[in-house]
Structure 1
Amino acid sequence: MNLFDFVVDTLGEPLTKTLILEFHMILKKNSLDAERGFSGSWKKIPNMITGSPVQLAQPWEVDIKIADLLTWWKESKKEFEDIVKFHSEFEKIHPFQDGNGRVGRFIMLKQCIESNESLIAIDEKYNTEYKKSLLESQMNGNYENLENVLRKCQNFLEEKNELLSNTLRCLVD
């Protein structure tokens, strides 16, 4: 099973530590990380984001910080702003040796679908702006610019989907 299918299969299930670890295990299946025992488990070695001044969680802090974040999520309204804050804080914890961004985006996909929000796809058009606003949110707790960038990503995805739909309609007609 691939991770996308697993995310779809788990829609409606609460977001838990176990589920996040399963996301990571599926993502890293048959990889060197899996061979080295880094798949489906919190990081064992301190890590960093190259070129970023953000202080990430240390390995011994991950479990409690994820638990706190999940408690906050459970009590949140689960609106767009909550999804953005969760994403920023998850990436700041950076709980895995590798694959944090991909797992974070799959979590965001699950949250958007369950919250009836438009999907967010961060692609090359907004990648630099996304990274800059993500850093800003992690450094000062201001999520406004990150919210704006992720709204742009939603709109851009909707425009691409509309173009594809129109193209397919032309081919069928």
Structure 2
Amino acid sequence: MYLKNTSPAPMPGMEGWQAAAFRISGDKAYFVGCGFYGAQDTLCDDAGRHYFKECYIQGSIDFIFGNGRSMYKGCELHSIARRFGSIAAHARTSPDEKTGFAFVNCRVTGTGPLYVGRAMGQYSRIVYSFTYFDDIVARGGWDDWDHLSNKNKYV
């Protein structure tokens, strides 16, 4: 199964052109071998606990975003960014929230430069473990959206 936004996609790197292919807000969702195709904001991992296994997720800017508590295992995260891009933007706003994105045994491929994450909230949580990256990661790796409160504490 694959999910694809069939409306005209914006050119990668365009600002202000959200085109979510899929939004998940339910709890305990499980996706295996799915494809999610888009440009900016491809997959809205909004809320709840989710497991993505061996999925293909394509985008340019914040192509995985939201405040879910999700595991991505064995997935390919493919960037189509031109000027700049970012894989994930997490929206955790409190240190007490049990949310975050974990990418385990994944592959990051495509074009860049690309940030591995951007802070949508002061306590954004994005973890990469045993993940391969093409040579496309932007210098510094992380974008705080120029908010002092979003400065990274651990990279």
TM-score, length of structure 1 as denominator length = 0.22
The structure showing larger relative contact order (alpha-carbon pairs under 8 Å, at least 6 residues apart) is 1
